[in-house]
Amino acid sequence: MNAASVAAPEAVLFDLDGTLIDSAPGILASFEAALRATGFRPAVPLSPSLIGPPLAKTVATLLGRDDPAAVAAMVAAYRADYDVAGYRATAVYEGVPEMLDGLARAGIALHIVTNKRIAPTRLILDHLGWTPRFAGIYALDALQPHAPHKPALVGEVLRLERIAAERSWMVGDSAEDRRAAETHALRFFGAGWGYGAGYGPTAAAQGLRHPSELLAALPPPA
């Protein structure tokens, strides 16, 4: 796509895990700790492909069953480890800080929209020194009532922040991220470096191989 054919956005909404940060090492380590604490055996391998859905859904997949008591026990054990130690293992993808800096210099407002809980989201952003970078930081459980899924979350963010969808972009690495963008008519960019880059090809989605390509999509300054 020709950069000149795309209008500069007023805002960019970013997914977090698999888009801006590689949180897999900490998440998987905390799942291992939770399995040890509860004595459960995983039904599927511990791999980055688990990451993305809300925590309870991920735990049900990991255990291979949707037993409320087992899921609740695993969720509690996971949170006890991740919110104290696991989140500190978060890594930043190469090129992401430069991308965020470039967007900020262009006067574009940056927002986080994540399925991650708001508590560890804020811990990670503070740990990385990133909190001041973002005009808005949103998670499913940051809203009351909680947003049921990413498309609903994005809709609320657009409303609360008074963001014009036609002048906004979204960047994510999953099919749910793409659906959220398309539901609200945001231009979508797929983070090809993410957890499997499962956003799926569509005519309205542009795949990125490196964060610098998002800056390249901006039109040249007038």
| CATH code, domain carrying 28 | 1.10.150
What rounded mean pLDDT belongs to the chain? 92
* 17 and 77 part of one domain: no
Q: Indicate if 135 and 51 belong to the same structural domain.
A: no
DSSP states of 43-71: SS---GGG-SS-HHHHHHHHHTS--HHHH
- Asked whether residue 222 is domain-assigned, the answer is no
The model's confidence at residue 206, banded by pLDDT at 50, 70 and 90, is: confident
Q: At which residue do the structure tokens 């409303």 appear?
A: 159
Structural domain including 133 reads 7-22+91-216
pLDDT in tens, 175-194: 999 999 999 999 999 999 98
Q: Tell me, what CATH number does 145's domain have?
A: 3.40.50.1000
Is pLDDT of 3 > 80?
no
Domain identity same for 101 and 199: yes
Do 108 and 191 have their domain in common? yes
97 plus 54 within the same structural domain? no
Beta bridge partners of 205: 188
User: Does residue 197 contact residue 207 with C-beta atoms inside 8 Å?
Assistant: yes
**pLDDT given at position 2:** 45
Shared-domain flag, residues 131 and 152? yes
Residue 204 lies in a domain: yes
Domain count, the chain: 2
Give catalytic residues, as residue numbers. Answer: 15
Residues 83 and 100 in one domain: no
Residues 12 and 121 occupy one common structural domain: yes
Show the DSSP H helices in 64-219 as ranges. 68-82, 96-105, 118-128, 150-160, 175-183, 212-216
Average pLDDT over residues 203-216: 87
- pLDDT of amino acid 109: 98
Decide if 2 is inside a domain.
no
CB-CB contact of 137 with 111 (8 Å): yes
**Residue 1 scores a pLDDT above 50:** no
Residues 132, 209 within the same domain: yes
- Summarised one tens digit per residue, pLDDT across range 61-92 is 999 999 999 999 999 999 999 999 999 999 99
In a shared domain, residues 79 and 39: yes
* C-alpha to C-alpha distance for 37 and 73, rounded to whole angstroms: 9
| Tens-digit pLDDT profile for residues 34-58 | 999 999 999 999 998 888 888 999 9
Rounded distance, CA 219 to CA 222, Å?
A: 8
